[in-house]
Amino acid sequence: MKCVIFSIMFVFMLSLFQSCISTKPEYSRNEQNYSEPPIYVAFCELLNNAETFDGKEIQTTAILLSGKESGFLYDPQCVSEEKLVWFDIKNDLENEKLSLYLRPDLPEYKFKGVLRVRIETSGIFQTKKDKGFGHLNGFNYLFTIKQIENLAPVSSEVPYPW
């Protein structure tokens, strides 16, 4: 009888142990809620190796330029017409962060008709497939901003993209 009771307890303990081992971790790479942190890439490197980063979540630093008829990201170190990046912001909170820097009453807007702010941002980077992005599909790249980390005014000494 003791043998039977011991056997039953052994089987019970074994099944309990196996259920603990097979429990799925809370944050598995296969779960939809898991996401890799963004890859930090210098803006010029991002554009020089655009195909490598297409569709990936990227963190970078660039100048955001916004005006009545234009809006894009650029870096004076690698600026060219082909290397301007259309941006999109779908988050109202991130738009609010920009509103302190993108005001029509600021001197830059009065003199140049555009406003600029240096941003450290993360988002999804995409390259042109069949057609481009933005106004008249004129941009080769799109950066969908998810989060803005740091904002800083741009000195008037920093060159414009034109």
Tokens 């003199």, residue located: 111
Per residue in 41-53, pLDDT (tens digit) is: 999 999 999 999 9
Segment 1-19 shows an average pLDDT of 39
Average pLDDT score over the chain? 83
- pLDDT the model gives residue 14: 36
What does DSSP assign to residue 143?
Answer: E
Using DSSP, state whether 47 is helix, strand or coil: helix
Q: 36 or 94: which carries more pLDDT confidence?
A: 94
Tokens 């052994």, residue located: 10
Kind plus residue range of the DSSP H or E element containing 2: helix 2-21
Predicted TM-score (pTM) of this structure: 0.77
Model confidence at 106: pLDDT above 70: yes
- pLDDT the model gives residue 34: 56
Q: What domains, with CATH codes, occur in the chain?
A: 39-153 (2.40.50)
Segment 75-84 shows an average pLDDT of 96
